Amino acid sequence: MVDLATKSLLHDRLRFLITVSGVAFAVTLVFVQVGLFLGLLDNASITIDHVSADLWVTSRNTPNVDFAHTFPETSVQRVRSVPGVARADNLIIWFMTVNLPSGAQEGTLVYALEDFRSWNIPWNVESGNLDDLKRGQYFFLDASAVKRYGPFSTGEYREILGQRMKIIGRTQDARSFTTTPISFMDFDRAQRLSPDLLKNRTTYILVKLAPGADPAAVKAEIARRLPYNDVYTKKEWAARSRRYWVQSTGIGLNMYITVFLGCLVGVVVVAQTLYTSTMEHIKEFGTVKAIGGGNLDIYRILGKQASIAAVAGFVLGSLMAYAMRPAIAKIDLKLIIPPTFAAAVFVGSIAMCLAAALISFRKVASIDPALVFRT
């Protein structure tokens, strides 16, 4: 079968390029905007996602993982006695100020545990031994702190809440939504750094379930025993932390608006070029009708052309978005494009182009085949 749709589309290369560019622009914009959004949200829950806890016990109405409130550390005993709990430990996540050698003051989000290894945090240790944290005024600092603190290396000292602390290890990939650098130290050390606020207090209890335990039942029982706390599954807690930032900062709305505008530009460019092309080839479509073709034959041609533009635009747009990843990483941002999202954008691109072709469909439906006789 002769492929009139493809051959006609490629015959006018400049127009094809413009159409593909329109789709590619929309695809790139959607990938970059949503990718950055997902990257930011990933930071909002990255520690929750990596900590190997099945349940999180928080103080009542804690909005997200970074904004913790304290409650008595002895609550952990009650959790440990709940049937189905294999292990439960206190975790402090607390904002503390850091004095830098430059004289500037910065913040750090301290993660404090008695046994980091049991909870898979930090999950990417670049240097240092976590067991050494118990041996003195030591802490691990995530490499991302370089941006806020300037260069640092293990063996150096920084003042945290006025106390001299030695950096004995570096981690990677531990981020907070607010970009406040994350540091890791022993649970007792953190309490001693801020005794007024943290003595005999904790901010979270991490819970690991026994094999075969029913998460819903254990969760309900913990909630019953700790009526002034909230209990979340890992998934619920991560979602709550992400949702807080989406709702409170307007980044969600910003993303939706940009994605909408990107799609709108794509639809307008594709619709405009397809419609102009249709008008320029109207006599050819009239000829298709005159030689016995129907509207359906022409819809197929337009639909195929729109789909080809969509696929080519998607490929080009994806390549452009992926090409931007290293540059985005350099400014410490992440572009996360999950395969399911890429598939959704692919389907969306085709839907967008077919929607853009609808205007041409309407025009074609009204073609008078007698126009083939006009000069």
Partner 1 sequence: MTTVLEATDVFKEFQEGRGEVVQVLRGVSLSLSRGEIVGLEGPSGSGKTTLLSILGCILTASSGRVVVDGEDADPRRPSRLPAIRRKSIGFVFQQFNLFPALTALENVEYALNVKGVGGDDARREAERVLDAVGLSDRRHFLPRDLSGGQKQRVAIARALSGRSPILLADEPTANLDSQIGAQVLELFRALAKKEHRALLVVTHDPKVRTICDRMLRIRDGQVAADGIAA
Q: Which residues bind partner 1 (CB under 8 A)?
A: 1-2, 4, 7-8, 10-11, 283-284, 286-294, 297, 369-370, 372-373, 375
Three-state DSSP state, 290: helix
Neighbouring CB atoms inside 10 A of 141's CB total 28
Structure tokens at 40: 């930011």
Strands 182-186 and 138-142: antiparallel
What's the rounded Cα separation, in Å, for the pair 66 and 91?
Answer: 12
Q: Which is nearer to partner 1, 252 or 293 (CB)?
A: 293
| Nearest approach, Cβ of residue 277 and partner 1 (Å) | 12
Q: Which is nearer to partner 1, 132 or 284 (CB)?
A: 284
Q: Which is nearer to partner 1, 268 or 279 (CB)?
A: 279
What's the rounded Cα separation, in Å, for the pair 358 and 284?
Answer: 18
> What are the φ and ψ backbone dihedral angles of 331, each rounded to 5 degrees?
-95, 25
| Nearest approach, Cβ of residue 338 and partner 1 (Å) | 39
What's the rounded Cα separation, in Å, for the pair 131 and 169?
Answer: 11
Q: C-alpha distances in angstroms, 45 versus 51, 64, 129?
A: 10, 9, 25
Q: What is the DSSP string of 178-240?
A: T-PPEEEEEHHHHHHHSHHHHTTEESEEEEEEPTT--HHHHHHHHHHH-TTEEEEEHHHHHHH
| Nearest approach, Cβ of residue 253 and partner 1 (Å) | 45
Q: What is the DSSP string of 128-144?
A: S-GGGGGGSSEEEEEGG
| Nearest approach, Cβ of residue 178 and partner 1 (Å) | 56
| Nearest approach, Cβ of residue 283 and partner 1 (Å) | 6
| Nearest approach, Cβ of residue 18 and partner 1 (Å) | 17
Q: Which is nearer to partner 1, 2 or 216 (CB)?
A: 2
What's the rounded Cα separation, in Å, for the pair 125 and 168?
Answer: 11
Q: Which is nearer to partner 1, 15 or 363 (CB)?
A: 15
| Nearest approach, Cβ of residue 369 and partner 1 (Å) | 5
Q: Which is nearer to partner 1, 140 or 285 (CB)?
A: 285
User: Residue 239: CB partners within 8 Å, gap ≥ 6?
Assistant: 45
Q: Which is nearer to partner 1, 99 or 287 (CB)?
A: 287
